[in-house]
């Protein structure tokens, strides 16, 4: 009697799993899609006097510009959403590709030369939504946080 009960229970679980597991998987992909749609857009914030603008596109690409006075940098590439509430930015393009380096000659004077700028490292950030148009990004490497606002 007991083994038939366990067999019946096992069969019932398997029947439900045929429907529940695909539903769970479908809901999981909807949740990731919804997460991505919340992040998609143009975001702006200020960190230590540097204005950062990040454009997160629905195709899995991003572009980030950083402006401080007359100096501007750019980096772009793919991003990946990983649970929980983490985004990984990979860099495939960046500007400037060169930078001016000063070489002193003696105690007075010197000259500048143009040298290659190294590729930025990218970032892994935690994000927390503070409302539909506000979030905080926290870099997991250096622990710096930046409040971001969605902009048109």
Distance between CA atoms of 53 and 43, rounded to whole angstroms?
A: 6
CA distances (Å), origin 17, targets 4, 7, 27: 20, 15, 15
Distance between CA atoms of 24 and 31, rounded to whole angstroms?
A: 10
Distance between CA atoms of 136 and 126, rounded to whole angstroms?
A: 8
pLDDT digits (tens, 9 = 90+) for 37-63: 599 999 999 999 999 999 999 999 999
Task: Of 100, 94, 36, give the one whose Cα is nearest residue 65.
Answer: 94
All residue ranges of the chain with pLDDT < 70 are 1-37
Q: What is the pLDDT of residue 29?
A: 36
């Amino acid at each position: 009697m007991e083994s038939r009960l366990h067999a019946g229970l096992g069969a019932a679980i398997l029947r439900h799993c045929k429907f529940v597991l695909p539903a769970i998987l479908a809901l999981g992909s909807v949740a990731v899609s919804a997460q991505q749609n919340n992040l998609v857009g143009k975001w702006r914030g200020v960190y230590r006097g540097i204005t950062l603008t990040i454009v997160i596109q629905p195709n899995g690409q991003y572009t980030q510009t950083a402006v401080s006075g007359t100096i501007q940098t750019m980096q772009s590439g793919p991003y990946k959403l990983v649970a929980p509430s983490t985004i990984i930015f990979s860099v495939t393009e960046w500007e400037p590709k060169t930078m001016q380096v000063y070489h002193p000659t003696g105690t007075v004077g010197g000259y500048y030369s143009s040298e290659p700028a190294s590729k930025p490292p990218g970032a892994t950030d935690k994000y927390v939504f503070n409302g539909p148009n506000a979030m905080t990004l926290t870099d997991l490497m250096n622990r710096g946080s930046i409040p971001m606002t969605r902009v048109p």
